[in-house]
Amino acid sequence: MNDAVIVMPTYNEIENIEIILEKIFSLNLGLDVLVVDDNSPDKTFQKVQEMIDSNKYEDQLSLMIRENKEGLGKAYIAGFKRALSKEYKYVIEMDADLSHDPKYLHSFLENIKENDLVIGSRYVKGGGSVHWSRFRKLISSGGGLYARTILGIDIKDPTGGFKCFRREVLESIDLDKLITTGYAFQIEMNYRASIMGFRVKEIPIIFEDRVAGKSKMSKKIFIEALLKVIVLRFHKNDILRG
């Protein structure tokens, strides 16, 4: 078993999953990958199982199949709990849709040595996004500003979902008490780590919009995230008390 594992939720990523996994393993960084699939109708989990059965990746690739689609947060929590049951020192969050480029993984592993949470940021010097409309960029940057202002945290990309946790951070957060499951899950995890006093660092990444497959983002999910930010702010004292 390696020191770090990537937890990668999937739902209908049959067009991307093999590509992203091959990119990761070709880097030879000594990373394990746990794919958490929510019983994808397109059978993404079958492709992952085929890759496992090929023995090409030895014991570095594993699969968890959940019965139902319950939201990104629930999938990550399940993956985190599996990772914490092992002896991993670091847990990386990463999307399967190729928007998170594996080339940044080396930087995550270097920076986590001196920090507790490393966030891949679109809004620090050197970061950004490509193939986004002006409207989507406005929504993203505006949502980040809104979350920072309401929550009072100094994280330029609070919605960032490409990141690396030291295991102590996940052990300190009561995963069963998280109040978000969708898009706001990323904000909540970053917020909790920040106000609990963990060392948080943002590193620049270029976020690339998916080419294949369908985005899971919707107006409903975005509005829900805005409302959850306010709920999180009112739960600050409860979070600090544990």
**Of 222, 235, 218, 219, which Cα lies nearest the Cα of 178?**
235
Checking if the pLDDT of 1 tops 80, the result is no
Q: Which amino acid is at 214?
A: K
| Statement: 4-241 belongs to CATH 3.90.550.10 | yes
pLDDT tens per residue, range 7-65 = 999 999 999 999 999 999 999 999 999 999 999 999 999 999 999 999 898 899 999 99
* pTM, 2 dp: 0.92
| Residue 164 Cα distances to 6, 55, 116, angstroms | 9, 27, 8
